[in-house]
Structures are given as C-alpha cells and as structure tokens.
Amino acid sequence: MNPIIRFSNVTKRFGALTVLRDFDFEVKQGEKVTLIGPSGSGKSTVLRILMTLEPFQEGTLTLAGMPYHEPDGHGPFKAREKHLRQIRSHVGMVFQSFNLFPHMTVLRNVIEAPVRVLGLSRNEAECRAVDLLNMVGLADKKDHYPSQLSGGQQQRVAIARALAMRPRVLLFDEPTSALDPQLVGEVLGVIRSLAHEHDLTMLLVTHEMRFAREVSDRVCFFDKGQIVEQGEPERIFSSPEQPRTREFLASVLG
Amino acid sequence: MMYGFAWDTSTPLAYAISILPILGIGLIVTLEATVCGFAIAMGVGLVFALLRRAKSRLITWPVGLIVEFLRDTPLLIQLFFLFYVLPQFGIVLPAFLTGALALGLQYSAYTSEVYRAGLEAIGRGQWEAATALNLTRAQTYRDVVIPQAIPRIVPALGNYLVSMLKDTPVLSVITVVDMLNLANLIGDRTFEYLVPLSLVGLIFLILTLGCSALIHVIERVLPKRGIALR
Ligand SMILES: Nc1ncnc2c1ncn2[C@@H]1O[C@H](COP(=O)(O)OP(=O)(O)OP(=O)(O)O)[C@@H](O)[C@H]1O
Ligand SMILES: [Mg+2]
C-alpha cells in the first residue's frame, strides 16, 4: 500500500536557517506515529508543512498521492489556494494552545467549519457535533464559551472540532504542553481512544514519553531536522541504538 | 433676518430663541458633514488598513506614506489644499463635499490605525486554526476575525466620531455654512456675538454628550461574549 504521507528530499528554510534538509519520511494510512526530540529540532515544522501552514523550498511532499504543489506550470513550490484547500480537506490539526474561537460557543466552534466548508445543514452538523462532544465527554458544555472551560476541556473541544471535518490525517502538536499537570490525563485519554480508530492516521508530537510508548505504532527520534532513529516504541525506549537517542531519552526520562 | 427668520435682540433669552431656527439650519449641515466625513473615514480607513496588511512592500510602503502624511499634516492645510489647489487641476467640488472629503481623509488615517490594531489583536493562532479547518480567507475574516475585532474597535472609532464632530466648524473657512459660520454671520449683522457663539458652543456640548452616550449604548449591546478585551 502506498503511504498516505510521503516527504521526499524536502528542504525547508527560514531565511538562512535550514530546518529540514533532504528530509524523507513516510507514514502509512492508519499508522500512529510519534515524533520526539529536543526543542528546535523541527518537529512542529513537519506538522505545519503538512497542514499547509508553512511552505517548503525543495523536494516533494504528497498526501494520499496528491502533491502539495501542482504538477502543472505554476512553479514548483507555489501552490494555488484552491489546490491547497483540497489537500487541507484531508488533514486536521490540534494545536498546543487550543486556538478555539473565543467568541463562539463550544457547539458553534465544532459546527462552524462543517457548515461553512462541508456544506452540512445546521441540523446535521449539530447532531454530529453533539456526538463528538459526547465522545470527548463535554456534551453538557456545548453552550459554554471557551473562556468558561479549563485548558483540558478546551483542548478536548479542539479535538472534537478537528474531528468534525473528518480528516484522514490528524496532527497533534504537543497537545498537552500548555496544560496543568492534573489536566493532562483527560486529554491523553481522548487521544488514546482515537488511537483505536483503525483508519485515522495520527502524527503526534509530544513530550509525554510513557504515552508515546503506549499509543504509537512507531516512534521517530528527531534531531536537527533529521530522523536519527525510528522504530517500534518498545525497541526505541528500551534499547535505542544511536547515542543521540540514548542521550535524549536519558535527559527526558530522568 | 436670515432664511426668513427675524431676530429679536431685546433680551439675551429672546435673542437666543429667535436665532435658534437659523442655527438649526447650520446644525443640519454640521451633522451632514460629520456623517459624510465619518462614512468616508470608516471606508477609506478600512481600505488603508487592509492594504497595509498586504504581502508586497510595493503596496504597504506607499500606503504607509500616505497614511502618515494624512495624519501628520494639519486639517486646515488639507482643507485649503483640496479647496484651492484641486480646482487648478480642473477638479471642482462643492464646498460641502470638499469639507467632508478633507475630514474623512484625515480621519481615515486615524481609523486605519484603529482597524489595524483591532486586526492585529487577533493572534496568528486564530488564523492557523481557521486554515486547519479549511475556512477560506473571506470566511475567516467574516466569521472569526471581524466579530472579534469589532468590540475592540468600536470604542476607539466612537472617540474619533466625537472628535470629528468637534472639527466640523473648520469647514466654515471654506464657506461651508455650518453652525459656526451662521453664528458669525448673525453676529456681523447684530454686532452681538456672545449669544450666538455661546449657543453654538452649547449645542456642540449637547451633541458630543449625546454622541458619547450613544456610543456607550452601542458598546453595551455589541455581542462580545467570550472575547477577552484586555
Ligand atoms: N516562523 C519562523 N521563522 C524563523 N524561524 C523559525 C520559525 N519557526 C520555527 N523556526 C525555527 O525552526 C527551528 C525548528 O522549529 P520547530 O518549531 O519546528 O521546532 P520543534 O522541534 O517543534 O521545537 P519545540 O519542541 O520547541 O516545539 C527552530 O530553530 C526555530 O527557531
Ligand atoms: Mg514545536
């Protein structure tokens, strides 16, 4: 089976700083992959490129076979908005800082895009939203505003909001890093339940090593814009081969 | 006698009452100038603000220069410029329109800053969330950015509305017949300036107080639940 995500020779620069150099990376459909690595190594950048929030300068990236830039004469790395929107329709993202729309109720946050973008009727969108809010355990908060919720609750709403668009690939960028320690568990619980969804491809950046070990099919250790070592979580965590991986794990696991 | 109304200078009160209808005609001009000027300021200011957010410096720099120029030169000079210089280039506008345009353009520099601050208060995270949900740019402005920006910009716009109202008497220097101009004309004829000028001052006071009250009401009823206004 073809991978749903394929980076080949992707180079990403911010001005003079090269964050990814000749980056190769593949993810199979339904696979749950965790990226770990030191701060500044480019983990977020990988997710942000996938979400079309960042352009890249060289190489090719495909999602379900669709290249991010159009193959016709539009210049290799300039993609038209229409094309990017087509790619985006398969990808969702959960941010470290939740980024809920503060002026909308929880329900409105979840139905906004399905109504506007997918063209669902309000009724249908609400039914689905309530189902999703049930799944994250927040159906009773549907008429609250984000500011009335705890961080953990906001992040669960953000997950429901992303799922409402029925993405094939869901990206999580440190979804629990902004949370008080006692709220981390409830968010991880929701992500854990998603990990059982067979078809959903998940790409997760996290510092929660125990959680990564538990939910991932594959863990990738990232350093300086490169995957230094990857493999099944058991192997990476119990017997890392690369010295840099060992060093990193020693520093985070204490 | 003016506009068919005669004045009665027997007592200050009678004088004031007799010239009130005349000043009322000027009041309408004052209000019209404020409304037109402010409509221009809100529209042009928004265009400036959006252009200054453009990606290309070929757009942002000239627009920034124009805004600085409009903001940092006196209204009176802009007014004279439009009134005396434009006709030399064959553009002849009625005095009222020239006045409203000058007010509107100067204030568009202020309103563009208000819009800009309002738009910038909406963080990058909101835009990114909207992108991740595949909303279009237009949908993002309409449903995410503008509803959050409005409660932030209305108070500042309200202040400029009051301020513009107080600037309208400047238009009398280019022959617009507003309240101040009429008060002067009445004084020229009766040799009694105190009452007409005081009356104009009083009317302005009432107008600005009313305007401020109205803005407070608007601020109150604006939907702003959930939005952290500092
Ligand atoms: N918009 C930007 N402009 C310039 N440099 C950037 C930008 N975004 C990221 N960088 C740089 O790119 C590098 C990789 O950043 P990235 O956010 O992907 O790291 P990360 O692995 O997610 O780190 P962290 O664990 O701290 O989130 C960093 O050196 C960062 O400073
Ligand atoms: Mg990061």
Instruction: Round to whole Å and give the CA distance between B109 and B70.
Output: 6
Do B132 and A100 make contact, defined as CB atoms within 8 angstroms? Answer: no
Among A116, A132, A147, A165, which would you mutate to test the B interface (most chain B Cβ atoms within 10 Å of its Cβ)?
A116
Query: Closest Cα partner for A167 from A75, A92, A58, A59?
Result: A92
Which pLDDT does position A71 carry in this prediction? 60
> B29 with B16: CB under 8 angstroms?
no
Confidence class of residue B221 from pLDDT cuts 50, 70 and 90?
Answer: confident
Q: For A88-92, A187-191, A218-222, A249-253, which range has the lowest pLDDT when averaged over its residues?
A: A249-253
Measured from CB, residues less than 6 Å from any atom of ligand 1 are A 14, 17, 19, 37, 39-45
Report the chain B residue with the minimal C-alpha distance to residue A117.
B135
Mean pLDDT of B139-152: 93
Size of interface A-B (CB pairs under 8 A): 73
What angle (nearest 5°) sits at the alpha carbon of residue B211, between those of residues B42 and B160?
Answer: 35
Quick: pLDDT tens for B5-56.
Answer: 888 888 999 999 999 999 999 999 999 999 999 999 999 999 999 999 888 8
Residue list, CB under 5 A from ion ligand 2: A 44
Residue B148 pLDDT more than 90?
A: yes
Which pLDDT does position A110 carry in this prediction? 98
Query: Closest Cα partner for A243 from A225, A224, A228, A232?
Result: A228
B12-221 in CATH: which number?
1.10.3720.10
Quick: pLDDT tens for B95-141.
Answer: 999 999 999 999 999 999 999 999 999 999 999 999 999 999 999 99
Quick: pLDDT tens for A133-166.
Answer: 999 999 999 999 999 999 999 999 999 999 999 9
- The pair of structure tokens assigned to B101 is 């345009």
* A101 inside 8 A of chain B by CB: yes
Mean pLDDT of A160-182: 96
Confidence class of residue A78 from pLDDT cuts 50, 70 and 90?
Answer: low
pTM of the model: 0.87
Nearest CA to ligand 1 atom 12: A19
Do B134 and A113 make contact, defined as CB atoms within 8 angstroms? Answer: yes
Which string of DSSP letters, residue by residue, matches A175-216? TTTTS-HHHHHHHHHHHHHHTT-SS-EEEEE-S-HHHHHHH-
Which pLDDT does position A72 carry in this prediction? 56
* A66 inside 8 A of chain B by CB: no
* A80 inside 8 A of chain B by CB: no
Spacing of C-alpha B107 from chain mean position: 6
Mutate to test the pocket of ligand 1, among A10, A45, A177, A204 (most ligand atoms within 8 A of CB): A45
- According to DSSP, residue B144 is labeled I
What angle (nearest 5°) sits at the alpha carbon of residue A31, between those of residues A161 and A80?
Answer: 60
- Go through chain B and tell me how many residues it has: 230
Contacts of B128 (CB under 8 A, 6+ apart): A51, A53, A93, A95, A99
What average pLDDT is seen over chain A?
93
How far is it between the farthest Cα atoms of chain A?
55
- Where b means 16+ CB within 10 Å and e means fewer, B73-94 reads eebeebbeebbeeeeeeeeeee
Cβ atoms within 10 Å of B225's Cβ, excluding its own: 12
Mean pLDDT of A2-28: 94
The helix/strand/coil state of A62 is strand
CA of A218 to the centre of ligand 2 (A): 19
What average pLDDT is seen over chain B?
92
Confidence class of residue A50 from pLDDT cuts 50, 70 and 90?
Answer: very high
CA distances from A135 to A86, A177, A192, A229, B133 (A): 27, 22, 12, 35, 20
Nearest ligand 1 atom to alpha carbon A207: 25
> A51 with A37: CB under 8 angstroms?
no
